[in-house]
Structure 1
Amino acid sequence: MRALIQRVTRCSVTVENRVIGETGAGLLVLLGVAYDDTEKDAVYLAEKIVHLRIFEDESGRMNRSLGESGGAMMVVSQFTLLGDCRKGRRPSFVAAAPPEKAEQLYEYFIEQVRGKGIHTATGRFRAMMQVALVNDGPVTLVVESR
């Protein structure tokens, strides 16, 4: 699994001109599921992201986790994170999981995050979405399960 995480002051997801999810301060997680990922990858990634110390403490240092900061998480499925652009001009997505498997692991990842007490909003799997965010910092990181 590959996640692009962004620390945000707010974010929202719109599908067919209707906001389907929104959060205040916290993290936007764009989540890509690879063909050989398992529930173990989802558990690892949820644990890693929830506990990353990327929020400022009272001294202004990145020393607090999402849970410690009281922030929320927006999770959006993003198979294009598995795109390989090394050859030609069109990305190859052969590393991405088939939709049925990807959706199951996407939902399992969300369950893991919610199980840690994090308020979690989501996009809609396999939908065309407009994602709006205000990146805080900016802080943007790539986290992988392998």
Structure 2
Amino acid sequence: MLGFLDEAVAWMVERGQTGQWGTQPWSEQPKRVERITKLVENGLWIAELDGEPAGAMVVAAEPDEWIPRVDEPELYVRLLVTSRRFAGRKVGSGLLDFAKESSRGKLLRVDCWAGNNGRLVDYYVSQGFTPSVTFTVKDWPGQVLEMRP
């Protein structure tokens, strides 16, 4: 998981897109390493392509503390990251399809960075999610999206 996140940061830095996760690799930031360690303790789904790890997703029964709660059963995609080496091979959408199947009869929600002209928001909309509420953590703009598979 940390390797995927470090790879994503390097890719975004190369493109001048530092607003989402900054410029420093996740594996070099103790607070982020601790956060990921706690997240994966509750379960981690790994996608493989050609026998290699290609992406990872953590799904939980509830979101981070800064996300508004709902009064119904839900699954929440807490983190989704894919390897740039497998870009264009539908790794992320495959993991989301697995989350959709796992959440039948429940609300499925995810949040993402709303910067960079909403490109991540558009991605989740293309996967069948509908934008619901927005939020800000410090200066980080976020969007919650949801669906009922």
**TM-score, normalization by structure 1:** 0.35
**TM-score, normalization by structure 2:** 0.34
| Greater per-residue helix proportion | 2
Structure having greater relative contact order (Cα 8 Å, sep ≥ 6): 1
